[in-house]
Amino acid sequence: MQNRLINFSFWCVLSLTFINCANRGTITGGEKDITPPKVIKTIPENYSTNFNSQEIVIYFDEYIKTKNLSKQLIISPPMTSTPEITPLGTASKYMTIKIYDTLKPNTTYAFNFGNSIVDNNEENPYPFYRYVFSTGSYIDSLKVKGRIMDAFDREPESYVSVNLYEVDSTYTDSIVYKQAPKYVTNTLDSTTNFTIENLKAGTYKLIALKDNNSNNTFQQKSDKIGFYEDFITVSLDSSKTYDLKLFKEALDYKAENARLVSGEKIAFGFQGKDYKNMSINLLSEVPSDFEYRIIKDQEKDSLNYFYKPKLEVDSLVFTVTNKTKIDTFMVRIKDNKRDSLLLKASPNNTIDFFETLKISANIPIITFDESQISIMDKDSTNIGFTTKLDTLHNSVEVLFDKAENNQYKIQLLPNTVTDFFGKSNDTINYNLRTPKESSLGNVRINISNGTYPLIIQLVDGKGEVRYEKYTTKPEPLDFFFIKPGQYYIRAIFDTNKNKKYDSGVFLKGIQPERVSYSKDAFEVRIGWDIIQDFILN
């Protein structure tokens, strides 16, 4: 029995010894792999001439996979039929490209993979791998270089395509809407610079495109565009660089649809900003007491057409005219319930000293009885005010003087607002307050090298306008009562003096108005008065 106890004790001690030894170190998998994969062979060879194969195989020294291939891969010139590339998502030691397109004669093709080829374990990218071949007897070797800027935003977009269209007897500016370019590259996601390589000498139109549909054509509604004003000549001298400003065109006007959305309310959709020139005319026969009103929808791009009395008809026919464009719509009429009158105030909590209270309605306002409104501050003092009715946007501006750290109760008594259908509001109360001056800051901006007039804006990191001033001459610009935070200064060169930013128009060769930002953000602090010098280069 004693021997058994001794043996048991011996094995316990021995086990603890092994456990302690095991705890002294941690088994690891070795150093992290940071080496990207390497190409060891291609069939046919990279930079082959007289290429006539339908399949390309690229062999690597380790297992690879593709990542974000649809974004990263650029084929120049673009192919009508998309090649089949494997592997997709799985690992392999080789990549296969099957070509289904009919290749053009005497043309140099380039597959630009960006950073889409990565190793299987750590996803180390093979950076900017290119497979190039020519269907002719030589590889084109010319190039075009430049950089992309955004015309309005502080930071440019990523994955911007840069396209070259050959200028020959068939070239027109509208080609960007219809056909893929002769050559294409992109800026990927980490740089604003571009280089289009393996080009043939010639004359080209240089275009930048944020191609959100990935179809190598310009869609005004979804894409941004930038262009170099003149045709460029590609030759042995490749020292010139080109700057392209990417911008979003203002949409051309287009009447889109018309439909009944509720009782006696028809929405006429449109595209573009030129809706103020829209004229809606009813062609169907209606009774002599027929009335209508038109207002802009508060959220959607549509004009809302309200009518009365209720009509017992299956449909109504309208024409929508905007200058020389005329569209005809037939609207099916149903027995839908009418909307109820809703009033909405903006802002609805805190109001700045120079901000205007706006009261909007969802049904056309026929009468607005100012005598039924009262404004009272926290000391129960009545505050004077004026009002202004905007019939198109169906809103009322209420203007009154505001003091710091105050509270205001705005009361609308019954029948202040009467809508198109004869309905009125019940009693409504809005409560607003103003901030303390001591919780805000003040900013003076001194501008150098300005070309006037200028729109000077303070914008946040997302580019949202927080404060704005318009100036026509060199003078210090004072922004009072600014909320604490980080701001950039944005200057818009108002060339046509219409007090707003105007984008470019590609087909008319019009570049967007110039916009400049301060290099760095500045901080507005509570109770601080700061001076910012803004030098416009």
Q: pLDDT, tens digit, for every residue of 385-432?
A: 999 999 989 999 999 999 999 999 999 999 999 999 999 999 999 999
Last residue of a domain, one of 408, 435, 462: 435
Q: Quote the DSSP letter at residue 168.
A: S
Q: Is residue 527 part of a domain?
A: yes
Q: What is the CATH number of the domain that holds 282?
A: 2.60.40
Are 384 and 427 in the same domain? Answer: yes
Q: Is residue 100 part of a domain?
A: yes
Are 324 and 368 in the same domain? Answer: no
Last residue of a domain, one of 273, 304, 332: 332
Q: Quote the DSSP letter at residue 62.
A: E
Which candidate, 113, 83, 105, 108, places its Cα nearest to that of 96? 83
Q: Is residue 224 part of a domain?
A: yes
3-state secondary structure of 512: coil
At residue 12, the pLDDT reads 47
Last residue of a domain, one of 284, 305, 332: 332
Encoded amino acid at 351, one letter:
I
Sequence-distant contacts of 227-234: CB under 8 A, at least 24 apart = 227/506, 229/509, 229/511, 231/167, 231/203, 231/204, 231/205, 232/144, 232/203, 232/204, 232/205, 232/206, 233/202, 233/203, 233/204, 234/142, 234/144, 234/164, 234/199, 234/200, 234/201, 234/202, 234/203, 234/204
Q: pLDDT, tens digit, for every residue of 9-35?
A: 444 444 444 444 444 444 455 566 678
Encoded amino acid at 257, one letter:
N
Which residues fall within 8 angstroms of residue 202, CB to CB, at 6 or more apart?
Answer: 166, 167, 233, 234
How far is residue 66 from each of residues 184, 332, 482, measured CA to CA in Å? 21, 51, 49
At residue 368, the pLDDT reads 94
Query: What region, left, alpha or beta, does residue 182 occupy, with left being phi > 0 and alpha being psi -120 to 50 degrees?
Result: alpha
At residue 121, the pLDDT reads 86
At residue 394, the pLDDT reads 95
Q: Quote the DSSP letter at residue 505.
A: B
Residues 484, 485, 488: CA angle, nearest 5 degrees: 125
Whether the Cβ atoms of residue 73 and residue 114 lie closer than 8 Å to each other: yes
Half-sphere exposure of residue 423: CA atoms within 13 angstroms, side-chain side: 13
Q: Is residue 1 part of a domain?
A: no
Q: Which helix (H) or strand (E) holds 12?
A: helix 2-23
Q: Is residue 81 part of a domain?
A: yes
At residue 33, the pLDDT reads 67
Are 83 and 108 in the same domain? Answer: yes
Encoded amino acid at 157, one letter:
E
Encoded amino acid at 493, one letter:
F
Whether the Cβ atoms of residue 116 and residue 31 lie closer than 8 Å to each other: no
Query: What is the domain range of residue 108?
Result: 39-134
At residue 31, the pLDDT reads 66
- B/e letters for 471-506, b = 16+ CB within 10 Å, e = fewer, are beeeeebebebbbeeebbbbbbbbeeeeeebebbeb
Q: What is the CATH number of the domain that holds 123?
A: 2.60.40.1220
* Whole-number average pLDDT of the chain: 91
Can you give the pLDDT of all 537 residues of the chain as single tens digits? 444 444 544 444 444 444 444 444 444 555 666 788 999 999 999 999 999 999 999 999 999 999 888 888 889 899 989 899 998 878 999 999 999 999 999 999 999 988 889 999 888 988 889 999 999 999 999 999 999 999 999 988 888 989 999 999 999 999 999 988 989 888 876 678 999 999 999 999 999 999 888 788 999 999 999 999 999 999 987 789 999 999 999 999 999 999 999 999 999 999 998 888 999 999 999 999 999 999 999 999 999 999 999 999 999 999 999 999 999 999 999 999 999 999 999 998 999 998 999 999 999 999 999 999 999 999 999 999 999 999 989 999 999 999 999 999 999 999 999 999 999 999 999 999 999 999 999 999 999 999 999 999 999 999 999 999 999 999 999 999 999 999 999 999 999 999 999 999 999 999 999 999 999 999 999 999 999 999 997
Which candidate, 89, 245, 285, 77, places its Cα nearest to that of 163? 77
For residue 338, the tally of other CB atoms under 10 A from its CB is 15
Q: How many residues does the chain have?
A: 537
DSSP string, 380-403: --B---EEEEETTTTEEEEE----
* pTM assigned to the model: 0.81
Locate 198 and state its tokens. 């393996």
Cα distance between residue 73 and residue 103, in whole Å: 18
The count of structural domains within the chain is 5
Are 265 and 317 in the same domain? Answer: yes
Locate 493 and state its tokens. 């060169």
Q: Is residue 282 part of a domain?
A: yes
At residue 26, the pLDDT reads 46
